Structure 1
Amino acid sequence: MIEGSLPPVEFWCELQCPDCRSALDDVRALRDRFGDALTITLRHFPLEKHKHAYPAAEAAEEAFAQGKGWEYVEAVLARVAELDQRGPELLVEVAAELGLDAEEVDLALIDGRHMLVVDADQAEGKAIGVTGTPTYVVAGKRLDGGKSQEGLLEEIVALLEG
């Protein structure tokens, strides 16, 4: 590791997961503390129990392609209960509200252009032992936030500064 550089943080997330919505507070705190020195990468781990999680991951990838991925992720997670009820309709609506090309988001859900990214994330997650969300991988260590997020922020900071 280069002197003064930080290891990246992988945030394994599912956009229909209420715990991931809560975990955004930790992600924001990390950004506030470390700024541009820290890279936080969203990794997709849609769970089968949430029927709109996979399309939400695809829509998020399109939002990243359009340059507003994190804003999109935060906006969708803020409306988890509504996503459960409205599904893809909400995903396109959120894109429009953020000034994204909503038609392109809708088309991405239809043509599956981001399926390979979501499938690859899911396969890698399973391979490294991710079983639920949120999960973080920091400096090669997996931290499971699905059971409890208590103390996770402090543990991530310790790994980053260690």
Structure 2
Amino acid sequence: MSDTSPAEPIVLDVWCELQCPDCRAALDDLRSLRERYGDRLELRLRHFPLEKHKHAFAAAQAAEEATVQGQGWPYVEAVLGRVEELDRKGEALLLETARELGLDAEEFDTALVDGRHILIVDADQAEGKAIGVTGTPTYVIDGERLDGGKSQEGLRERIEEIADRLLAARDDTP
């Protein structure tokens, strides 16, 4: 009997900061990757808040709560789409965005106050530093780190090359 279950997805770790204009610029590429590969590519949000952005750490915690409530990537996209507003409004924008997405606002606010996601954000940041992440966005696919930042040019194509190679190798495996 053959196994007809789908193969494990290829994992693309996206080291991101929700107050980063360069991460905002990368959104179209991330959407394109999700459309091209669907559930064959797992985009995994990894937090790397930078000290120069005063709302980045709270935004990372907020993204974790949105993930718990089933709206992780929609929340990330919504906040990144409003980076300039986040600079001005701060944590009020984080809660406003949660309400707009229909998240449980009371639970969301409680999560930010009690800091239940701090350890996740801290662990992501520590792991990022350990593998050489210095800025955002940074991607890791199949152990290869690809730095984004100001130079997004060609990154999506490089990620596609790696993903296509990995998928082809899986398809050739009996």
Question: Runs of 4+ in structure 1 displaced over 2 angstroms?
Answer: 3-7
- The answer to whether the Cα contact below 8 Å between 2:9 and 2:39 also exists between their aligned partners in 1 is no
Amino acid paired to 2:118 = M
Aligned to 1:140: 143
In the alignment, the residues of structure 1 paired with residue 150 and residue 99 of structure 2 have an alpha-carbon distance, to the nearest angstrom, of 34
Question: In 2, distance between residues paired with 1:64 and 1:53?
Answer: 16
Q: Secondary structure at the match of 1:8?
A: strand
- Provide the aligned length of Structure 1 versus Structure 2: 160
CA distance in 2, matches of 1:78, 1:6: 27
TM-score in terms of structure 2 length = 0.89
Instruction: Give 2:57's aligned amino acid.
Output: Y
Q: What per-residue deviation string (whole Å, max 9, x for no partner) do you get for residues 98-128 of structure 1?
A: 1001121111111000000000000000000
Distance 2:88 2:80 in 1: 14
Report SS of the residue matched to 1:46: coil
- Indicate conservation of the 8 Å contact 1:45/1:125, yes or no: yes
State the one-letter code of the partner of 2:119: L
Question: Does structure 1 conserve the Cα–Cα contact (< 8 Å) formed by 2:64 and 2:117?
Answer: yes
**Whole-angstrom CA distance in 2 between matches of 1:5 and 1:123:** 26
TM-score using structure 1 length: 0.95
Aligned residue for 1:38?
41
1:156 to 159, 162, 166: 159
- Structure 2: which amino acid aligns with 1:35? G
Percent identity between the aligned chains? 69
CA RMSD of aligned residues (A): 1.2
Shift of 1:6: 4.7
Aligned to 2:66: 63
Post-superposition Cα deviations, 1:52-104, rounded to whole Å, max 9, x if no partner, equal 00000000000000001111000000100000111111100100011001121
Return the index of the structure with the highest Cα Rg: 2
Structure 1 residue runs without a partner (length 5+)? none
Give 2:112's match in structure 1, choosing from 109, 114, 137.
Answer: 109
SS of match in other structure, 2:26: helix
Alignment check: 8 A CA contact 1:6 1:161 kept: no
Please state how far the C-alpha of 1:24 moved relative to its aligned partner.
1.1
Name the CA distance, whole Å, in 1 between partners of 2:63 and 2:148. Answer: 21
